[in-house]
Chain A
Amino acid sequence: DVKVTQSSRYLVKRTGEKVFLECVQDMDHENMFWYRQDPGLGLRLIYFSYDVKMKEKGDIPEGYSVSREKKERFSLILESASTNQTSMYLCASSQTPHRGQPQDEQFFGPGTRLTVL
């Protein structure tokens, strides 16, 4: 059974703290993604990685950084948390498709609800 796990389901942090969100997948997928989900805004891509040590900015990278030192693990870092980063954070992974084929479905973790006070 394929699995994407996230280190915490709920997290409460204070403004200015450094926050680490960890994601691990056991499917040997090349691609990993971090999204945030907010009411009325859907899922917005923060960063993604298509290989170890490779990363690309998504649509809303400001205030975030990422790290991918191992294939199975993708970390999202909030260098200095702010209240507008209170959100549900979702990690996903997917296989790289064969040339010319569409992107495979993404498998999601259960999410981390982060509250920044």
Chain B
Amino acid sequence: DQQVKQNSPSLSVQEGRISILNCDYTNSMFDYFLWYKKYPAEGPTFLISISSIKDKNEDGRFTVFLNKSAKHLSLHIVPSQPGDSAVYFCAASTSGTYKYIFGTGTRLKVLA
């Protein structure tokens, strides 16, 4: 039972345009969400997070939006750069637990 889903396995975007990566979850107890970026042959690195008490969090070119009623979050990258080409994982957690549930990942390719 996949509690966190990333339905798009891949996405291609032109350099300078907006990249939008989507993530859906089923467990209403999740109250904290993160996005990780992973390059080949490296471990994932933390990108940005959002608490369920917010609906938006911004950090430079990266913005995460949370729609609790739809159980949906998205990551916006503006403007996209070739160095953003990587696999992006969303992850969800419940306060008081130790672990995160990860999605299946979306491979982003930013074309120069």
CB-nearest residue of chain B to A40: B104
Contact between chains at A58 and B99 (CB < 8 Å)? yes
CB-nearest residue of chain B to A10: B41
Contact between chains at A110 and B49 (CB < 8 Å)? no
Contact between chains at B43 and A109 (CB < 8 Å)? yes
User: Given that A43-B89, A101-B95, A102-B95 are contacting pairs, would A110 and B51 also be in contact in the complex, using a CB cutoff of 8 Å?
Assistant: no
User: Given that A90-B44, A105-B34, A110-B42 are contacting pairs, would A42 and B103 also be in contact in the complex, using a CB cutoff of 8 Å?
Assistant: yes
Contact of B41 among A31, A44, A103, A110 (CB under 8 A): A110
CB-nearest residue of chain A to B107: A39
User: Given that A102-B93, A102-B95 are contacting pairs, would A43 and B43 also be in contact in the complex, using a CB cutoff of 8 Å?
Assistant: no
* Interface residue SS majority, chain B: loop
- Any chain A CB within 8 A of the CB of B96? yes
Contact of A50 among B32, B36, B45, B98 (CB under 8 A): B98
CB-nearest residue of chain B to A110: B43
User: Given that A42-B89, A90-B44, A108-B45 are contacting pairs, would A102 and B31 also be in contact in the complex, using a CB cutoff of 8 Å?
Assistant: yes
Taking the closest CB of chain B, its distance from the CB of A88, in whole angstroms, is 9
Interface band, chain A? 20 to 34
Taken together as a complex, chains A and B put the C-alpha atoms of A40 and B87 apart, in Å, by 11
CB-nearest residue of chain A to B9: A40
Q: Top 3 closest A-B pairs, CB basis?
A: A108-B43, A102-B32, A42-B104
Q: Can you spell out 14 A-B residue pairs with CB atoms less than 8 angstroms apart?
A: A35-B102, A42-B6, A42-B103, A42-B104, A43-B102, A50-B98, A90-B44, A102-B93, A103-B32, A103-B93, A103-B100, A107-B46, A109-B43, A110-B41
**B binding-site residues for A, Cβ under 8 Å:** 6, 9, 31-32, 34, 36, 41-46, 49, 51, 89, 93, 95-105
